[in-house]
Amino acid sequence: MKKYVLIASLCLISALAVGQTEKGQGFWSGNASLTYTSFKQNRSAFENQYQSSVNTFSFNRGVFFKDNWLAGGGLTVSLNTINQKVPEPNQQNSYKSTTVGTGLSGFIRRYWGKDQWRVFAGGGLSVNYGIVHYNAAVTNRSDENSFFIQPYAQVGAAYYLTDRIGLEASASSNSFPLHFSSFGLGLTILTGVTRNGPDVYEAPQTAKGRWILGGQLGFFTQSTKPGIAYPEGQRTTEFSIAPSVGWFVKKNLLLGVSIPIVARWQEERSGFSYGLNPYLKKYISDNRLRPFVAGNLSYQISGNKPDDGYGSVQKAGLAVSAGLAYLLGDRFIVEATLGRIYFDRSFYPKDQNIDQWTGGASATLQPSFSINYVFD
């Protein structure tokens, strides 16, 4: 019986995807993020202060002007600001800057394939302009601006999860002979004719009493050649791991915890951090592809040896997020976080007189993906 259900589901998915590259169909993709950081340290009569904001917005729109031929364009806007005050003997220096960037692009693609799979190739042209403005009252630097036009080639593949959600991977090159140096993986929102959605799928992954195991693993190393700043050169190595485990307290409701651990090494110093991040996640609907909302708390302790006088630093935060999960088979859940709002506050030793916090919000259709294993 299960085999017949699976075959019927695959046939339905294929039927949904057949028309996604027909004339009149199209897609949207993009991302937006807002981040603000504040750092203040009071010592004697001077105040060390740093404030920054990083804001970006971009989107792409494509429309099939004939079967399997797509034309589209994109817009990118960014605004970054820095305001820094650094105490020095008998004076307090200040630095302010504002960076604005804009970009426009146009492209054409040709698609091949059938059912829910497509491959594509194409090219386009991007135009970018940027300006950096320095506050003349607090810095001697002159304003800077840049402008460039760049053609590019692109290849990729698309997989249509439903008649409204697609998964796209691409690689781009702006040189000839072709040298692909830009890679992307993300989701697209499909537009055009609406067809019937997939049948409800009774997923065993999110049943009450099941456990979920996941995590993150990372390794980073960087080497600096001998120079003025580092006469003997310098190598930095970082290793991170964040195992997580959760339990479905009821159908589609997951309670879990993650334990992030990071270790860093340099020639004459080392650093560490470890924490505890409990979370609660709610899956919505009973389809293979289903939205989720989540909330989590975080607590972290970090430090360096030697500690440069700062000692250990504690950080606490909270965040809410939303995304999409795809239930793969009967044992795996693939997830992508599409939106997040967060707030973090750091706590230094009292004698440091430091006040630091960070907050922000982001929304993207080009997220990172995670795979979790489900067991009884």
In three state form, how does the secondary structure of 55-120 look? Answer: EEEEEEEEEEEECCEEEEEEEEEEEEEEEEEEEECCEEEEEEEEEEEEEEEEEEEEEECCCCEEEE
* Among the ranges given (49-58, 160-169, 179-188, 295-304), the one the predictor scored with the smallest mean pLDDT: 179-188
Structural domain range at position 37: 19-196
Domain closes at, from 138, 162, 196 = 196
- Burial label for 187, CB within 10 Å (0-12, 13-18, 19+), is buried
pLDDT score recorded for residue 81: 94
Tens of pLDDT, residues 148-203: 999 999 999 999 988 889 999 999 998 877 777 788 899 999 988 665 555 566 77
In a domain, 266, yes or no: yes
Q: pLDDT value at position 200? A: 62
Please indicate, yes or no, whether residues 178 and 203 belong to a single structural domain of this protein: no
Give me the count of residues in the chain. 376
Q: What is the pLDDT of residue 12?
A: 38
Which residue did the predictor score with more confidence, 222 or 274?
A: 274
- Domain co-membership, 91 together with 25: yes
Q: Does residue 323 share a domain with residue 249?
A: yes
- Give the pLDDT band (50/70/90) at residue 34: very high
Please state, in angstroms and rounded to a whole number, the distance separating the CA atoms of residues 350 and 318.
Answer: 23
* pLDDT for the residue numbered 197: 54
**6 within some domain:** no
Share of the chain above pLDDT 70, in %: 84
19: pLDDT strictly greater than 90: no
> Is there a single domain that holds both residue 210 and residue 173?
no
Residue 234 and residue 124 in one domain: no
Looking at the fold, whether 350 and 368 belong to one and the same domain comes out as: yes
Q: For strand 46-66 and strand 69-88, is the pairing parallel, antiparallel, or unpaired?
A: antiparallel
Note whether 205 and 271 are same-domain residues: yes
Q: What is the CA radius of gyration of the chain?
A: 25
In terms of Cα–Cα distance, which of 123, 107, 117, 110 is closest to 20? 117
The highest-confidence range among 12-26, 217-231, 252-266, by mean pLDDT, is: 252-266
Task: Tell me how many helices (H) and strands (E) the chain has.
Answer: 1, 18
Same domain flag for 156 and 224: no
Task: Tell me if 310 sits within 8 A of 301, measured CB to CB.
Answer: no
Domain boundary among 178, 196, 214: 196
| pLDDT on residue 267 | 72
Query: Is 68 within a domain?
Result: yes
Mean pLDDT of all residues in the chain? 85
Q: What is the mean pLDDT of residues 21-31?
A: 92
Percentage of the chain with pLDDT > 90? 58
Q: Which of 171, 196, 221 is the last residue of a domain?
A: 196
Would residue 13 count as lying in a domain?
Answer: no
Query: Is 367 exposed, middle or buried (CB count within 10 Å of its CB: 0-12, 13-18, 19+)?
Result: buried
Token couple for 154? 């692109």
Q: Is residue 7 part of a domain?
A: no
Residue 109's contacts (CB-CB under 8 Å, 6 or more residues apart) are 62, 69, 70, 72, 120, 121, 122, 154
Same domain, 264 and 299: yes
- Does residue 205 sit in the same domain as residue 248? yes
Residues 6 or more apart from 305 whose CB is under 8 A from it?
269, 270, 271
Query: Is the previous residue joined to 231 through a cis bond, with omega within 30 degrees of 0?
Result: no
Band of pLDDT at residue 375, cut at 50, 70 and 90: very high
Q: Tokens 């919000």 — which residue?
A: 361
The C-alpha atoms of residue 222 and residue 311 are separated, in whole angstroms, by 25
Answer yes or no: do 209 and 182 share one domain: no
| pLDDT tens-digit readout, 3-16 | 433 333 434 333 44
Q: What is the CATH number of the domain that holds 147?
A: 2.40.160.20
CA dihedral defined by 360, 362, 366, 369, rounded to 10 degrees?
A: 70
Find the mean pLDDT for residues 74-97. Answer: 80
Count of structural domains, the chain = 2
Structure tokens at 350: 């009292």
Query: Does 34 reside within a domain?
Result: yes
Task: Give the per-residue pLDDT at 292.
Answer: 97
Model confidence at 91: pLDDT above 60: no
Question: Does 11 map to a domain?
Answer: no
Asked if residue 138 and residue 108 are part of one domain, the reply reads yes
Q: Which residue type sits at 240? A: S
Residues 73-89: what's their mean pLDDT? Answer: 86
- Looking at the domain assignment, is residue 343 inside a domain? yes
- pLDDT at res. 10: 38
Which pLDDT belongs to residue 111? 97
